[in-house]
Amino acid sequence: MEFFRRLWNYWNQIDGQVLLLLRPQNPRTQWQILSVFLLPKKVPLEVVMAKHPNSVYIETASECKLIKGESYTVDCLEGCKIQPQRAEFSLGCGPNYHPTFEIFLPYMLEEIYIMIRDQKDADVWMRRVVLTGETSHREQEPLSTE
């Protein structure tokens, strides 16, 4: 039975991506919010960012394998608060592109280790993410040719 389940999951895997958008800091709170999007790889970053124009894109390797209907969790080592605890991956993510998860980070945290796990608690994506700097995908200036 387990063999057939693994075979089914293999056939149903899709090329996915994890996109991270850091929301603007609210000066009245001690938290900043990192939005985590689990999306099919074919969804363009620019489309997601257009729905969240005030957020800063945190560039990192985003590719992963995801399974439609499978539920996933997010964990981090820095004692952050995460909601929801578990979310099901769906291919019907647009046109609004709401975050799959929200990670509440202590203000001024410079880096975070994020793990995304499947229903069997196996890591499907794990990264060290640097949160400092103003390197938004939208805000990058073209290189000068002078």
What domain range is 33 assigned to?
Answer: 14-130
Which of these, 111, 106, 81, 83, lies nearest to 29 by C-alpha position?
A: 106
How many angstroms separate the CA atoms of 83 and 96, rounded? 19
CATH assignment of the domain containing 87: 2.60.40.2660
The answer to the question of residue 108 being in a domain is yes
SS3 at position 87: strand
Contacts of 74 (CB under 8 A, 6+ apart): 36, 82, 101, 103, 114, 115, 116, 117
Q: What is the pLDDT of residues 58-92, one digit of tens each?
A: 999 999 999 999 999 999 977 789 999 999 998 87
Q: Is the pLDDT of residue 142 over 90?
A: no
The token duo for 21 is 């958008």
Domain count, the chain: 1
* Mean pLDDT computed over every residue of the chain: 84
Q: Is the pLDDT of residue 26 over 80?
A: no
Model confidence, pTM: 0.83
The token duo for 104 is 């509440």
